[in-house]
Structure 1
């Protein structure tokens, strides 16, 4: 009998474990998203703007991502990452329950991270664009929340959805799988649409072309979130795989990547303030270094950047009092006597200072763009 059991195990890999890899990836993505989120909040308070609904929704999305990370660590400790035949059957119900919660959290995190960016766009949109964004917000949340509900409601009793040993009935697997693929594909499409909308919004503003392109590119990072959603779609068939505890690790990683990338992409437009400040600080440092070098060289006159010095000179030759053409007053003659009779030229210097527009621009944030659109609309009415 022992020989037969050994023969039955030939070709089975009981040591294979992808759990630590998937856990490390999920935590790495969560930490990266947290860094961007902290910088986003810092920039908001740095500009004395405070937090708005889009910020709170994004914070909630990251909290759900964190919950998924914690559950991922727990499932790994239960054996997730091993082949299903290498896991104790008594542990499988616990593992299935944890995976159900993990899937629910990650689906909601993906929906809310996209909703956050859509809410941001609502602040600068009008007319049909605003209606389109509201439609995307409603449908994204509807489809994704239904996907999370079906994960629990597909079996009666509910316990059978994570413990197949319980008596009961479940919906056919293929329709559920097709719906999950549909909702993920729709989520990816929404990401792409939301990433392209800023181009139409921003290029209607009165801004320099270079600045328009920079802002539009920063607000189009959602394309990467759409790309991760597409890859996740390709991994969804592993849900129906009988060895999901091993083959599903890729889906877990890409599932976490979708909201993490969305959080980072949605924060990048706000982080342009830090880039502007860093550029301005570097410019001031270079100017200070140039001034210090000028002082060391002993130059008596320093010209500030963006300063034009206009010099006007005139001859100050004295004429004898009462001579021909003498019209100078007594004060004028005294001044000319000090200057010297025609030997010293009197020079009047006038410094005209100006500031480059780029020195005073501190970036376009959502409120600034909204203000620009409002001003443009008022000019159109006038």
Structure 2
């Protein structure tokens, strides 16, 4: 079916958005389960990245509800087929949905940034770069969101043409849409590809590095969706000027798709313990705590394990059964991981631990 041949994009958007929300919620629920069940020890468990991801899911949920309400009033159908009352309500929810929808695919950028922080533990310059890009993107999103309401004076004239008022030229909204979507597509590509070389240098099994890189790299699919939006924007705004209740729900599907792809890709790297548990390669958390308690009882001095870098290395590298090393901590959470620089530092401290054990045996 060619574009703009469907009779009702509202019903289509309603079904598609809820399906995407269900899949995304399931993946995020697994993420939370892994963090709560397996995320013990140094920087394990739930963190800021999880809170941001859950907030993004909530925004998606709110958007799906409003999309359902809008389709109930006829949004997605040709305006000429709607009653005057439904026409007003459909246009009103069109503005509301469009002003909220753009946050669905923009806020997950922060979820990507947060999970990268937990994986790579990058420094101040990278933090400024990442957050600078994300915040400037949010500025364009905010401008677009506000303009959906401010383009008409009074605001109510945007959906109720029975009152007196004026609206700005639709080209302004089109330009803002092009800018925000193009910037979003760029950031999707950037955050998908930029971290890969750094992830591949982490001190972890090669297949784990590849898995994390691929999981985060899949977020480039969100840029494909965004580029497709850019490609059809011209025809969208042509139709929008003539039939304002008809085309926008199709953009709703694309916007929710982009946001859900980013949320899922930001969650996949956290599911490593669940995959290993399914393969029978992950020890229970009780067993890990038991081993940790046994080591603590054996008389290791606090000064031996007092280094922060050693604690990071011990808690998140030696606990991983795929590393082929003896489990020494209580965490089996894959994230955060340790950079080669930290790993090399912790190797020298490891020799100090061996010396300390020798003194105990004497």
Structure-to-structure mapping, 1:61-140, within 5 angstroms: 61-123=56-118, 124-126=121-123, 128-140=125-137
Structure 2 Cα separation of the partners of residues 162 and 201 of structure 1: 50
Unaligned runs of 5+ in 2: 1-5, 284-320, 349-362
Query: Does residue 200 of structure 2 align to residue 200 of structure 1?
Result: no
* Contact kept? 1:110, 1:259, Cα under 8 Å: yes
Partner of 1:26: 17
The alpha-carbon deviation at position 162 of structure 1 amounts to 2.7
- Match status 1:279 vs 2:270: no
Name 1:188's counterpart in structure 2. Answer: 185
Partner in structure 2 of residue 256 of structure 1: 256
* Structure 1 gaps, min length 5: 1-14, 284-354
The answer to whether the 8 Å contact 1:65/1:105 transfers is: no
TM-score, normalising length from structure 1? Answer: 0.70
Secondary structure in structure 1 of the residue aligned to 2:84: coil
Greater radius of gyration (CA): 1
Q: Which residue of 2 aligns with 1:173?
A: 170
Distance 1:45 1:250, change over 3 A: same
Q: Structure 1 residues 186 and 376 mapped into 2: Cα distance closer, same or farther (>3 Å)? A: farther
Give 2:227's match in structure 1, choosing from 212, 226, 230. 230
Distance (whole Å) between structure 2 residues aligned to residue 66 and residue 33 of structure 1: 10
The equivalent of 1:141 in structure 2 is: 138
> 1:214 — aligned with what?
211
Tell me the distance in 1 between the aligned counterparts of 2:322 and 2:248.
56
Across the aligned residues of Structure 1 and Structure 2, the Cα RMSD in angstroms comes to: 2.8
1:51-66 matches, cutoff 5 A: 51-66=46-61
Shift of residue 376, structure 1, vs aligned partner: 4.7
**Does the 8 Å contact 2:174/2:233 carry over to 1?**
yes
- The SS at the match of 1:206 is coil
> Higher relative CO (CA 8 A, sep ≥ 6), structure 1 or 2?
2
Taking structure 2 as the reference length, the TM-score comes to 0.73
Query: Cα 1:360–1:182, aligned 2, differ >3 Å: closer, same or farther?
Result: farther
Q: Which has the higher strand share?
A: 1
User: After superposition, what is the alpha-carbon deviation per residue over 1:50-97, rounded to whole angstroms, capped at 9, x for unaligned?
Assistant: 322221122111111111111111111111232111011222221122
Instruction: Give deviations 1:259-317, integer Å, cap 9, x for gaps.
Output: 1111111111111221122123599xxxxxxxxxxxxxxxxxxxxxxxxxxxxxxxxxx
* Paired position in structure 2 for 1:367: 336
